[in-house]
Chain A
Amino acid sequence: MVNYSYISFVLIIPLVVFLITGLFGKKMPGLSGILGALGMLGAACLSYFVAYQYFLVDGRVDGIYPTVMAFKQTWLQFTPSLKIDIGIILDPIAVMMLVVVTTVSFMVHLYSIGYMHGEERYATYYSFLSLFSFSMLGLVVSSNIFQMYMFWELVGVSSFLLVGFYFTKPSAVAAAKKAFIVTRFADLGFLAGILILSFYSESLDFQTIIHNMMDYNGTIFLNANAASFMGVSALTWALCLIFIGGAGKSAMFPFHIWLPDAMEGPTPVSALIHAATMVVAGVFLVARLFPVYSQVPAALDVVMYVGAFSAFFAAIIACTQTDIKRVLAYSTMSQIGYMMFALGVSGYWGEEGLGFTASMFHLFTHAMFKALLFLGAGAVIHYVHSNEMGDMGGLWKKMPITHIVFFIACLAISGVPPLSGFFSKEEILTAAYQHNKIVYAVGLLTACLTAFYMFRLFLMIFWNKEYKAHGRTEHHGEAPMTMKLPLLILAIATIFAGIIPFSMYVSADGTAVESHIHLREASMAVAAGAIGIFSAFFLYLKKNERPEMISSAFGALYRTAYKKFYVDELYLFVTKNMIFNFIAVPAAWIDRNVVDGMMDLIAAVTENLSDSIKSIQSGKISSYVMWFFVGAILLSMMIVYAL
């Protein structure tokens, strides 16, 4: 066994870069970009080396990949059994995530050198980016559920800072707040889930939790199942609550409303945080606890239905949006829905674990092609200075490289063989078909919609009409080299990532599973994609009247989808009209008038009382003399009559 302790540098490097660029960045603005990119390059190389050692050099022990604890240090002790450790755990999914996060992060760091050039707060941008990378890497290697929660909050706050990067824009401020608050609300579920799970499993450590919960006859497992609240066992409650946290971060319905708005951040940030890494944290969380989830079918069903519904729901909305980043945001939500329901349909042992493998595989390929799509969109926005599809069209001549890579990514996400997306999506649909036919049908329909809206996007950006430069466009070239290079690298990854025999490395129980293409499911998936692609070509290749006709034919349905099914309005109503106006405002009034009023009342009563008594002590000798005599007479009368 190799010593993996060097892996802690993957975390230390971004942390140090964050501190340097954050504290001294203003004095060396140009350098911070280079420093950040070099740091991430180092972290990426370390991750590749770890992956190589872990998967290929060390390999399996007794048929499964071992879980390696590369580093562990107690950070806070609550009770003898409950403590927060800061640890680095290495198992197949952690190593895979290390590779994904460092790769995409490095690409984004590199790309940003060109994209953010000339930005006033350039150094701040890089320090936030490093903070995010540090937090995300800490999250994926967490050995302790509370450690994960901590890094979970840290990625949330780095996302908040980066979405609100253009802080003078009111829309960016609103989006940053919304992103943080919605996910915080979901995190409340995560926290409550941790409290319950840790209490019953008597540990906060992932390995111990899993060990205790996999032991069917152990008292711990039996207790957790026997304790129930409202007819549902404590374990199910815990897992469902934890999933709420995951759903918040992964923008699953009904917590998805923050993701489209988060596109107010700089585009490379959207690529890194809101497409490839942070938003899949929820999927990763369920995968990390998958052995426990697999014991509780009810909780897994929740994951499945929420995932499937979100996938479909988001795909419909994506077909109607006109802002390219928002289309991509909904597409992200839809694809994460795929990953979620793939976990939901999965079993634990051997071949049954296909869904788990497929989900992780899709996470991997999606990170590559979605980052590519966002960075491509960033190049387009950089050129056109607008997010609206209406301002684009016919860009293929002006931006040949972006055009090609965008096309590749669209093919991949639509599931066209032999690009990477085909393999992972096909596996997901196969797993769904074996488990639940309804979910399979939803998945297939969503695949069709995905292909449609992606090619609608592609065609409206690059074809559709002749490009007419409008007022604000400066005529510079397509993009600087620092922006093109990441596009090309990611395009290569998008093409070839599918060839990796993923199921050999990542599976639910750690054994190797032979995967093969299921011809029937594969052809169905490809056919669904093809229908979507062709209808998009039919409608959007050249400017014509057909899209208008279709949208007016759908009428109310189209408008509802365009308005995102009014979920935002519903949230606004609940938070503003109900919580703010019916709880906060009355509470503030009560505090001033009732609670404090009581105190003032006590003071006023005391004051009045003293007012009325104080006239007795008037200081006038004559009245004292009079009262003296009155008292003396009364007293003598009492004595006389009483005796």
Chain B
Amino acid sequence: MNLSLLIAIPTLTLISILFVNGKMARVAALAGSFVQLGTALFMLFSYMNLNDVSHLAFEESHVWFAQWNINYHIGVDAISIAMIMLTSVVLVAGVLVSWNIEDKTKEFFFLLVMLATGAFGFFISVDLFVQFFFFELAVIPKFLLIAIWGSGRKEYSAMKLVLMLMGGSSLVLIGILGFYYYSAEAGTPSFDLQTLSQLSLSHEQQMWLFPLLFSGFAVLSAMFPFHTWAPDGHSSAPTAASMFLAGISMKLGGYGCLRVAVFLLPHAAREYSPYIIVLACIGILYGAFVTLKQTDIKLMNAYSSVSHCGFVILGIAMFTKTAMVGAVLQMISHGVMTALFFAVIGMIYQRTHTRMGDEMGGLLKVMPFLSTVFIVAGLTSLGLPGFSGFVAEMTVFVGSFQNEDMFHRFATIFATASIVVTAVYILRAVGISLWGPIKKKEYESLPDASWNEKLAAGILVLSIVIMGTMPLWLSDMISKTTETLFP
């Protein structure tokens, strides 16, 4: 399996989007994303057939800048494979959802695929410099996507989002450079994750590097109190951009926290973990309570993402193998679920021209398909067994509870309390917007989902159900990797 394909295919797609005209861009994007999904699936199966998964699979390394020892070094483990699967599924769905974009079609799909390219590159790279390059590649298109195709206070939101994420990435950059110089002191300078993990740093060095790397990535995964870009960004972004933002970008953050910050600096991570746990718990419950107050259903899902991503941070900071597996599962589960949620909210918005739940009502009668999908997304969000959210959350809970002291125990119970609040806001949204009498006469003649919307929703629902009903292979695969990463 040649891993570079995962970057080559989206790049070729980008080029072909440039050269076709007008509406054909979407066909090129769709074809490219399906090929990418197929490649990702092939990679998944080849990975599952490997006998030895104790080191990175499908590794490749080429010198890029010899004088600084920067290498194009790529490789995957189960965590990155899970993330790549997530990204390719969300990419297909995102392209399908944006099928009828009228304004600047070509540019829109170009930026969308570029964002995904950045994400794919980020997940497969092992060299921190290369990884950072792709990381930035995934941030810039967001600005344009929101500022051009967005709604509401779009310039403000786009600026805020990009500035906050850039702020985070500048912290990450300082951290990476710190590592580079420490490795130079120790012998050869390096950006390579594998090499750096062998580096023995003093306590002080670890203690100042960790907060930079961790909080830099945590901004992206919307950890409290760095989450405020999320509600504004989501509420202004066009549907596909919201799906990418919450479904993929927030996972770049979680992946970075786990695979870079905690992996490279396990001792500092342990020292800081109580503070992180407190912030994660606040994020989970506070996010849930803020969601309770929202009547804009898109804003509701944006805030609920803050709450759900708190579980990722919590699972990482709990430092048991099970909780870390749970964190990864939660990343995938939340990625698919929130993409589905934003997709269906966008579809409903296109028809009703409002996002206020209390202005809708009775939509289940008018658009049974979309409403059912909305309910499925909601039930996944509140952790119904049979859907992916349950598997992920329960793994985090059980894993967290394996810590024997009272602090971790209380934090776990505290976090579990969010399942009630989640149920309240989800049911409230379903109750006011989908059930009840139809509020406006013109809603009675609204059409249900079209083929592309059905396909997009179908793919996402299928992923949720597969994860929710057959979780064993996935959690086994991931736990093998976490065992080698954190022995």
A binds B: yes
A226 to chain B: which residues have CB within 8 Å?
Answer: none
Q: Which of B293-348 contact A (CB under 8 A)?
A: 293-294, 321-322
Among candidates B160, B397, B475, residue contacting A191 with C-beta atoms closer than 8 Å: B397
Question: A157 in the interface, Cβ–Cβ < 8 Å?
Answer: yes
Among A164-172, A459-467, A564-572, which stretch is in contact with chain B? Answer: A164-172
Whether A76 and B423, one on each chain, are in contact in the complex, defined by CB atoms closer than 8 angstroms, is no
Whether B398 and A78, one on each chain, are in contact in the complex, defined by CB atoms closer than 8 angstroms, is yes
B420 to chain A: which residues have CB within 8 Å?
Answer: 181, 184-185, 188
Specify the chain A residue showing the minimal Cβ separation from B361.
Answer: A168
Whether B290 and A587, one on each chain, are in contact in the complex, defined by CB atoms closer than 8 angstroms, is yes
- Indicate the size class of the contact surface on chain B: 35 or more
CB distance from A194 to the nearest CB of B (A): 9
B406 to chain A: which residues have CB within 8 Å?
Answer: 229
Question: B452 in the interface, Cβ–Cβ < 8 Å?
Answer: no
Question: A385 in the interface, Cβ–Cβ < 8 Å?
Answer: no
Among candidates B290, B379, B416, residue contacting A192 with C-beta atoms closer than 8 Å: B416
Q: Which of A149-163 contact B (CB under 8 A)?
A: 149-151, 153-154, 157, 160
Question: B163 in the interface, Cβ–Cβ < 8 Å?
Answer: yes
Whether A170 and B428, one on each chain, are in contact in the complex, defined by CB atoms closer than 8 angstroms, is no
Specify the chain B residue showing the minimal Cβ separation from A191.
Answer: B416
Whether A76 and B290, one on each chain, are in contact in the complex, defined by CB atoms closer than 8 angstroms, is no
Once A168-B436, A591-B290 are accepted as A-B contacts, the answer to whether A82 and B416 lie under 8 Å apart by CB is: no
Q: Which of A574-601 contact B (CB under 8 A)?
A: 580, 583-585, 587-588, 591, 595-596, 598-599
- What is the bound-complex CA distance between A146 and B471, given in angstroms? 14
A596 to chain B: which residues have CB within 8 Å?
Answer: 228, 232
Tally of chain A residues near chain B (CB < 8 A): 48
Among candidates B160, B385, B390, residue contacting A599 with C-beta atoms closer than 8 Å: B160
Whether B293 and A584, one on each chain, are in contact in the complex, defined by CB atoms closer than 8 angstroms, is yes
- What is the bound-complex CA distance between A374 and B184, given in angstroms? 79
Whether B397 and A153, one on each chain, are in contact in the complex, defined by CB atoms closer than 8 angstroms, is no
Question: B153 in the interface, Cβ–Cβ < 8 Å?
Answer: no
CB distance from B99 to the nearest CB of A (A): 24
Whether A154 and B471, one on each chain, are in contact in the complex, defined by CB atoms closer than 8 angstroms, is no
Whether A198 and B428, one on each chain, are in contact in the complex, defined by CB atoms closer than 8 angstroms, is no
A146 to chain B: which residues have CB within 8 Å?
Answer: 394
B228 to chain A: which residues have CB within 8 Å?
Answer: 591, 595-596, 599
Q: Which of B408-426 contact A (CB under 8 A)?
A: 412-413, 416-417, 419-420, 423-424
Whether B431 and A177, one on each chain, are in contact in the complex, defined by CB atoms closer than 8 angstroms, is yes
Question: B58 in the interface, Cβ–Cβ < 8 Å?
Answer: no
CB distance from B330 to the nearest CB of A (A): 14
Q: How many A-B residue pairs have CB under 8 A?
A: 129
Question: A504 in the interface, Cβ–Cβ < 8 Å?
Answer: no
B431 to chain A: which residues have CB within 8 Å?
Answer: 173-174, 176-177
The winner among B160, B289, B412, B476 for most chain A CB atoms within 10 A is B289
Whether B419 and A167, one on each chain, are in contact in the complex, defined by CB atoms closer than 8 angstroms, is no
Whether B322 and A585, one on each chain, are in contact in the complex, defined by CB atoms closer than 8 angstroms, is no
Once A584-B289, A587-B289 are accepted as A-B contacts, the answer to whether A168 and B423 lie under 8 Å apart by CB is: no
Whether A157 and B384, one on each chain, are in contact in the complex, defined by CB atoms closer than 8 angstroms, is yes
Among candidates A153, A167, A198, residue contacting B436 with C-beta atoms closer than 8 Å: A167
Whether B423 and A82, one on each chain, are in contact in the complex, defined by CB atoms closer than 8 angstroms, is no
A481 to chain B: which residues have CB within 8 Å?
Answer: none
Whether B292 and A584, one on each chain, are in contact in the complex, defined by CB atoms closer than 8 angstroms, is yes
Whether A195 and B362, one on each chain, are in contact in the complex, defined by CB atoms closer than 8 angstroms, is no
Among candidates A79, A181, A198, A583, residue contacting B289 with C-beta atoms closer than 8 Å: A583
Question: A75 in the interface, Cβ–Cβ < 8 Å?
Answer: yes
B321 to chain A: which residues have CB within 8 Å?
Answer: 79
- What is the bound-complex CA distance between A598 and B160, given in angstroms? 12
- What is the bound-complex CA distance between A347 and B20, given in angstroms? 79
Question: B22 in the interface, Cβ–Cβ < 8 Å?
Answer: no
Whether B435 and A181, one on each chain, are in contact in the complex, defined by CB atoms closer than 8 angstroms, is no
Question: A77 in the interface, Cβ–Cβ < 8 Å?
Answer: yes
Whether A184 and B395, one on each chain, are in contact in the complex, defined by CB atoms closer than 8 angstroms, is no
Question: A632 in the interface, Cβ–Cβ < 8 Å?
Answer: no
Question: A74 in the interface, Cβ–Cβ < 8 Å?
Answer: yes
- What is the bound-complex CA distance between A167 and B322, given in angstroms? 40
Whether A173 and B435, one on each chain, are in contact in the complex, defined by CB atoms closer than 8 angstroms, is yes
Once A168-B437, A595-B225 are accepted as A-B contacts, the answer to whether A75 and B293 lie under 8 Å apart by CB is: no
Once A181-B424, A195-B412 are accepted as A-B contacts, the answer to whether A78 and B395 lie under 8 Å apart by CB is: yes
Question: B286 in the interface, Cβ–Cβ < 8 Å?
Answer: yes
Among candidates B322, B383, B436, residue contacting A173 with C-beta atoms closer than 8 Å: B436
Interface string of B357-382 (1 = CB under 8 A from A): 00000101100000000000001001
Once A75-B472, A180-B423, A180-B427 are accepted as A-B contacts, the answer to whether A199 and B402 lie under 8 Å apart by CB is: yes
Question: A469 in the interface, Cβ–Cβ < 8 Å?
Answer: no
- What is the bound-complex CA distance between A76 and B364, given in angstroms? 34
- What is the bound-complex CA distance between A198 and B391, given in angstroms? 17
- What is the bound-complex CA distance between A78 and B323, given in angstroms? 9
- What is the bound-complex CA distance between A192 and B397, given in angstroms? 9
Once A157-B384, A167-B436, A168-B437 are accepted as A-B contacts, the answer to whether A580 and B225 lie under 8 Å apart by CB is: no
Question: B18 in the interface, Cβ–Cβ < 8 Å?
Answer: no
- What is the bound-complex CA distance between A169 and B37, given in angstroms? 44
Whether A76 and B472, one on each chain, are in contact in the complex, defined by CB atoms closer than 8 angstroms, is yes
Specify the chain A residue showing the minimal Cβ separation from B226.
Answer: A599
Question: A557 in the interface, Cβ–Cβ < 8 Å?
Answer: no
B232 to chain A: which residues have CB within 8 Å?
Answer: 596
B394 to chain A: which residues have CB within 8 Å?
Answer: 76, 146
Among candidates A170, A191, A588, A591, residue contacting B437 with C-beta atoms closer than 8 Å: A170
The winner among B228, B395, B397 for most chain A CB atoms within 10 A is B228
Question: B399 in the interface, Cβ–Cβ < 8 Å?
Answer: yes
CB distance from B380 to the nearest CB of A (A): 12
Among candidates B395, B412, B427, B436, residue contacting A181 with C-beta atoms closer than 8 Å: B427
Question: B278 in the interface, Cβ–Cβ < 8 Å?
Answer: no
Specify the chain A residue showing the minimal Cβ separation from B422.
Answer: A184
- What is the bound-complex CA distance between A603 and B161, given in angstroms? 12
Among candidates B231, B385, B419, B437, residue contacting A154 with C-beta atoms closer than 8 Å: B385
Once A170-B437, A584-B290 are accepted as A-B contacts, the answer to whether A74 and B472 lie under 8 Å apart by CB is: yes
Among candidates B164, B413, B436, residue contacting A170 with C-beta atoms closer than 8 Å: B436
Specify the chain A residue showing the minimal Cβ separation from B437.
Answer: A168
Interface string of A342-354 (1 = CB under 8 A from B): 0000000000000
- What is the bound-complex CA distance between A595 and B412, given in angstroms? 24
Whether B292 and A77, one on each chain, are in contact in the complex, defined by CB atoms closer than 8 angstroms, is no
- What is the bound-complex CA distance between A571 and B399, given in angstroms? 33
Whether B401 and A195, one on each chain, are in contact in the complex, defined by CB atoms closer than 8 angstroms, is yes
A151 to chain B: which residues have CB within 8 Å?
Answer: 385
Whether A177 and B428, one on each chain, are in contact in the complex, defined by CB atoms closer than 8 angstroms, is yes
B417 to chain A: which residues have CB within 8 Å?
Answer: 188
Question: B386 in the interface, Cβ–Cβ < 8 Å?
Answer: yes
- What is the bound-complex CA distance between A595 and B164, given in angstroms? 13
Whether B390 and A150, one on each chain, are in contact in the complex, defined by CB atoms closer than 8 angstroms, is yes
A76 to chain B: which residues have CB within 8 Å?
Answer: 391, 394-395, 471-472, 475
CB distance from A10 to the nearest CB of B (A): 19
Among candidates A168, A188, A199, residue contacting B362 with C-beta atoms closer than 8 Å: A168
CB distance from B483 to the nearest CB of A (A): 12
A188 to chain B: which residues have CB within 8 Å?
Answer: 416-417, 419-420
A82 to chain B: which residues have CB within 8 Å?
Answer: 398
Q: Which residues of A contact B (CB under 8 A)?
A: 74-79, 82, 146, 149-151, 153-154, 157, 160, 164, 167-168, 170, 173-174, 176-177, 180-181, 184-185, 187-188, 191-192, 195-196, 198-199, 229, 580, 583-585, 587-588, 591, 595-596, 598-599, 603
Instruction: Write 23 A-B pairs (CB below 8 A) sorted by A numbering.
Output: A75-B472, A76-B395, A76-B475, A79-B399, A82-B398, A150-B386, A157-B379, A167-B364, A173-B431, A173-B435, A176-B435, A180-B423, A181-B420, A184-B423, A188-B420, A195-B413, A195-B416, A229-B406, A584-B289, A584-B293, A585-B293, A587-B286, A588-B294
Going nearest first, the 3 A-B pairs with the smallest beta carbon separation are: A150-B385, A588-B293, A596-B228
Beyond A154-B384, A173-B436, A191-B419, 7 additional pairs, beta carbon < 8 A: A160-B427, A164-B435, A173-B431, A177-B431, A588-B289, A588-B294, A591-B231
